[in-house]
Structure 1
Amino acid sequence: MDLMGMMGKLKETQQKIEDTKKRLDSVLIDEQSTDGLLKVTITANSKIKSIAIDDSLLTDNEQLEDYLIVTLNKAIERANAVNQTELDAVAKMDMPMIPGMDNLFK
């Protein structure tokens, strides 16, 4: 492949990555506490969409904070995994093999 062809392929791949990032704004990740008292929904790009809190958690701020931290962190971990998997798939599928550029999109 010539240099112009590789540059075109690189630009095309970059556009596909941007399109994938936009699409991931609509991929929702639901997570909840083990007892179901707190539920969160975030996008695969880690934007919080909703939080549902059972009334029983509203009387203890410290407990509520703990629930939020644990549940949001679990949701963010899942969202990051989905995000990374999707972006890696696009990059690997479309990237031209250019020596030394293996980690361009990581």
Structure 2
Amino acid sequence: MFGDLSGMMDKLKQAQQKVEETKQRLNTVLIDESGADNKIRVTVTANREIKSIIIDDSLLTDAEELEDYLILTLNKALKRAGEINEQEMAVAAKSGMPNIPGMDGLF
């Protein structure tokens, strides 16, 4: 019994390490999104951290338009980043999980 428990604990530690490694790797996955006829470009990581925002000078004269385009473009980029993050984290968590009876349908 304790041998099985020890093995399961090792598998859980491996799963946790795999999740941490995936988090680190997702910091290097960059998502680029454009809006407003490429007048706004944003880059975010798959961990949903904004890396850059580039704004065409023509949008600097209308604050309301700039804000609208910025919100739309950032939301698109963050949505894509979230989808990638969730997929990758689910794979990382599932790959390292021990085989526990009754837990198959949860992941």
TM-score by length of 2: 0.89
Between the two proteins, what is the percent identity of the paired residues? Answer: 58
Structure 2 residue aligned with 1:6: 8
The 5 A counterparts of 1:88-103 are 88-98=90-100, 99-100=102-103, 102=106
> For each residue in 1:26-84, what CA deviation from the matched residue of structure 2 results, as whole angstroms up to 9, or x when unmatched?
11000000511100001000111110101110000000000110000000000001111
Query: Structure 1 residues 78-87 or 90-99, which shifts more?
Result: 90-99
SS at match of 1:45: coil
* SS class of match (2:99): coil
Higher share of residues assigned helix: 2
Looking at structure 2, the residues matched to 97 and 60 of structure 1 have their Cα atoms a distance apart, in angstroms, of 58
Distance 1:11 1:18, change over 3 A: same
Between the two proteins, the alignment pairs up a number of residues equal to 103
Larger radius of gyration: 2
CA distance in 2, matches of 1:70, 1:90: 30
- Superposed, 1:34-53 pairs within 5 Å as 34-53=36-55
Structure 1 runs not aligned, ≥5 long: none
The residue type paired with residue 77 of structure 1 is: K
**Aligned residue for 2:65?**
63
Aligned-residue CA RMSD (Å): 1.6
Deviations 1:3-31 (A, max 9, x none): 11001100111011011101111110000
Amino acid at match of 2:21: D
Unpaired runs of at least 5, structure 2: none
